[in-house]
Amino acid sequence: MLKLFKPVLLGCMALAIATPALAQVKQTREEMMFYTSQWKGERFPDGRPKVPDDLLKRVVDVSVEDLWDYLRDKGYNCQFDTGFQMLHADKPFAGRALTAQYMPLRRDMYEAISAEGKREGRVSGNNSWPIAELTMGDMYVADGFGKIVEGTLIGSNLGSGIATHSHTGFVFDAGIRDAEENRELENMNGL
């Protein structure tokens, strides 16, 4: 059972210092730098910490207990969640967290965010915007407050986008449509 939660812990450990990169309200580079000021390594143009690829490959083989110990030693005491269903339970994965939080819809905020997205040249719904930001080795981590009905964050099209951009996968606290199609995608895992 602990093996099932390893990917969640791996994602948290890979970027425990990361904060939302794009949600309903996108952080600026300056805000990202402020909230991740402890990171001393390389960064992406948007300010996100760029955890080295070799670390992501190595962390997949670290035990859950060692991850918990490491996180607790660094002051991250609440890094466990349960109830997720994994696409490939036998295939651990890790990535640099690109996080999003989807709040309940407020028409006034939605209109402002849509206008901002239009000015930035973004297309489709705002649930596709973080996926367009993914780079190789990223993991899309999205909080949809566990909502299933009218809370689906991806289906087969957006799942394909995640697999194409990141070659890693996702961690969602929300609904997923087309789970079978997403299971068939290469370079993709999720929970």
pLDDT of 168-177, one tens digit each? Answer: 999 988 888 8
CATH class of 2-190: alpha beta
Closest of 22, 20, 28 to residue 129, by C-alpha: 22
Domain boundaries, the chain: 2-190
pLDDT tens string 18-57: 333 334 567 889 999 999 999 999 999 989 999 999 999 9
Going by C-alpha positions, the residue among 31, 168, 19 that lies closest to residue 87 is: 168
- Please state the pTM of the whole predicted model: 0.80
Residue 19 exposed, middle or buried by CB count within 10 Å (0-12, 13-18, 19+): middle
pLDDT in tens, 134-150: 999 999 999 888 888 87
49-68 b/e (C-beta count within 10 Å ≥ 16 → b): bbbeeeebeebeebebeebb
Distance (Å) of CA 44 to CA 29, 47, 50, 76, 141: 10, 5, 6, 24, 17
How would you class 121 by CB atoms within 10 Å of its CB: exposed for 0-12, middle for 13-18, buried for 19 or more?
A: exposed
